Chains A and B, each alone.
Chain A
Amino acid sequence: MKTAHEIRPGNVIMFNDSPWVVQKTETTRSGRNAAIVKMKLKNLLIDSSTETTFKGEDKMDVIVLERLDCTYSYFADPMYVFMDSEYNQYDVEAENVGDAAKYIVDGMEETCQVTFYEGKAISVEMPTTIIREVGYTEPAARGDTSGKVMKPAKLVGSDIELMVADFVKEGDKIEIDTRTGEFKKRVN
């Protein structure tokens, strides 16, 4: 059992004898430090989707399905195509890639995990941390040298805008936590 707080896109949870793949999660803070987790789920048996909410501490059955380490190959609308180490190709519907799609770029080297249900590739989970190049950000503001000063930045090859440390420059490579979408550190 995992709490709703711990569920990540790509997990498959069981409700009422149906497996649901988690396509998207969004955690928000309610009162008194309690969390609300909003999820987009897809029922793997009847091919229907739903948006749903949970308390952060709600427990749910996560089922372990067959998973393979794969690398991203190319996008053939509406399918993302991944390849395993033996050059087998697997198509994953864009809808099922969910939030991970934000981080998929051509030529990416990170290994993703593709999950299978009854032989069909149903979801993709990104590694916890990935490295991406900053495409655009404003120069550092003069004088803002103390404290945790952050500024917006866009990444190369994606529409993602995230907050990065003030010292990060265009062309820098940065580490991103895919669970939260937050900047972790500069790596070059």
Chain B
Amino acid sequence: MTSPKSSHWDIFCAVVDNYGDIGVTWRLSKQLAREYQLPIVLWVDDLKSFAHILPTLNPTLGSQTLEGVTINQWNMPLNIDYTPGAVLIEAFACELPDEVKAIAKCAPTPPLWLNLEYLSAEDWVDGCHGLPSLQSGGINKYFYMPGFSAASGGLICEKSLFDERDAWQADSANKLTLFRSLGLSGIKADDKIVSLFSYETLALEGLCARWQASSSPVHLLVPKGRSLNSLASYLPKAPADIAAGEQFCQGALTIHILPMTDQTGYDRLLWSADFNIIRGEDSFLRAQWAGRPFIWHIYQQEEDYHLVKLEAFMRLYCDNLAPEIADCWKNLNLAFNQQQADAVQQHWQNIESFALPLLAHAKQWPIDALKTTDLATRLVQFVKKSLR
């Protein structure tokens, strides 16, 4: 007699650049467990990196359950048995172990096998979303494409997120309390706050020059890491020797060094800033949900293909913006992504005159972008339909 099929979902994640892939898969896992009561098993190959965004995680444990999600160390070869469940997800085209594929294929009822892909605003996403991928052995894999259109896989967003954000932003005492808890001092409620989480870029030199000469205080909140390497000329010592909690003033600009924070803390940081500079996929989406204007530093691709992806997103984001404001914001993003320090400085000056309409747009955009359903909801619907 065969045992009844387990209803759990397995999500496999290979950590590539510390927080991006694991950031998305952890958010998705938590949401599926909390909002849909699904038994989720998240397999992660680098628990040390994961622990940076989930401090309660013990990286020495092979298996543990946190926030309703079972987290397994993904070793090669696996030293925890894989048991096929209802769904098997490989995140961001990570290659599943042969052992897992073989077991899945031989199961009396094979799991629904999905490749959760990267987020893109390009048109082709709709045409690839949900398509099968022929695999040897008779089991199909499906490509699940996150995206901004109704025909795509949607965008990750927890159901209560916008209410929590609105409540947070309604009282400026919240952000000042947050800043104090992060060890940041000297920030007043009306000061301009910019959060920075980017890759290395010469564009930051231009922005810092602009902020330094500003007529009112500008606080740049930056974690240790790649962004800081591009601020070397504004720092009195090497980025490697700088500690969280330190601050450095030059003219109107104060650079504050942030401690590491978990995902909830990072959301609140984005909600508390007047402008966010973010990178990758996870923080890119969270910055949109913050309802604040932002610059997206997109992961650089061969032949500058990242600029095609940036343009595709900017077209969507600017659809309801007045052309002069849209051009201004697009130019700023393009210049930043092309490391044009002088141009980025000029475009920053230009967007300052559109601060209010840009903020109003940033507040409306999450509602427009999310449409009626989020990624987790669409994913659950996709699975139900496919397993029928």
Q: Is the CB of B134 within 8 A of A15?
A: yes
Q: Is the CB of A30 within 8 A of B117?
A: yes
Q: Which of B16, B133, B301, B309 contacts A53 (CB 8 A)?
A: B133
A154 within 8 A of B: no
With both beta carbons as reference points, the residue of chain A lying nearest to B303 in the complex is identified as A29
Q: Is the CB of A26 within 8 A of B124?
A: yes
B299 within 8 A of A: yes
B26 within 8 A of A: no
Cβ of B101 to closest chain A Cβ, rounded Å: 12
Cβ of B23 to closest chain A Cβ, rounded Å: 13
With both beta carbons as reference points, the residue of chain B lying nearest to A26 in the complex is identified as B124
For window 81-99 of B, CB contacts with A under 8 Å fall at: 92-93
Q: How large is the interface on A (under 10, 10 to 19, 20 to 34, 35 or more residues)?
A: 20 to 34
Q: Is the CB of A52 within 8 A of B132?
A: yes
Q: Is the CB of A28 within 8 A of B133?
A: no
Cα distance A30–B299 when bound, in Å? 11
With both beta carbons as reference points, the residue of chain B lying nearest to A15 in the complex is identified as B134
Q: Is the CB of B133 within 8 A of A52?
A: yes
CB-defined contacts of B127 to chain A, threshold 8 Å: 38
Q: Which of B118, B134, B135, B308 contacts A30 (CB 8 A)?
A: B118
Q: Which of A16, A51, A53, A55 contacts B137 (CB 8 A)?
A: A16
Q: Which of B16, B132, B136 contacts A32 (CB 8 A)?
A: B16
With both beta carbons as reference points, the residue of chain B lying nearest to A28 in the complex is identified as B124
For window 1-54 of A, CB contacts with B under 8 Å fall at: 15-16, 20, 26, 28-34, 36, 38, 41, 50-54
B120 within 8 A of A: yes
Q: Is the CB of A32 within 8 A of B301?
A: yes
Cβ of B199 to closest chain A Cβ, rounded Å: 12
The 5 residue pairs across chains A and B that have the minimum distance between CB atoms: A31-B118, A53-B143, A53-B131, A15-B134, A28-B124
Cα distance A31–B118 when bound, in Å? 6
CB-defined contacts of B115 to chain A, threshold 8 Å: 55
B302 within 8 A of A: yes
Cα distance A53–B142 when bound, in Å? 8
Could you name 13 residue pairs across A and B whose Cβ atoms are closer than 8 Å? Answer: A15-B136, A16-B136, A16-B138, A28-B128, A29-B301, A29-B308, A29-B309, A30-B118, A30-B120, A31-B281, A31-B299, A38-B131, A54-B134
CB-defined contacts of A50 to chain B, threshold 8 Å: 132, 134
CB-defined contacts of A32 to chain B, threshold 8 Å: 16, 92, 118, 299, 301
Cα distance A32–B21 when bound, in Å? 11
Q: Which of B128, B137, B302 contacts A36 (CB 8 A)?
A: B128
Q: Is the CB of B138 within 8 A of A53?
A: no
Q: Which of B131, B299, B302 contacts A51 (CB 8 A)?
A: B131
With both beta carbons as reference points, the residue of chain B lying nearest to A29 in the complex is identified as B305
For window 176-216 of B, CB contacts with A under 8 Å fall at: none
Cα distance A31–B281 when bound, in Å? 9
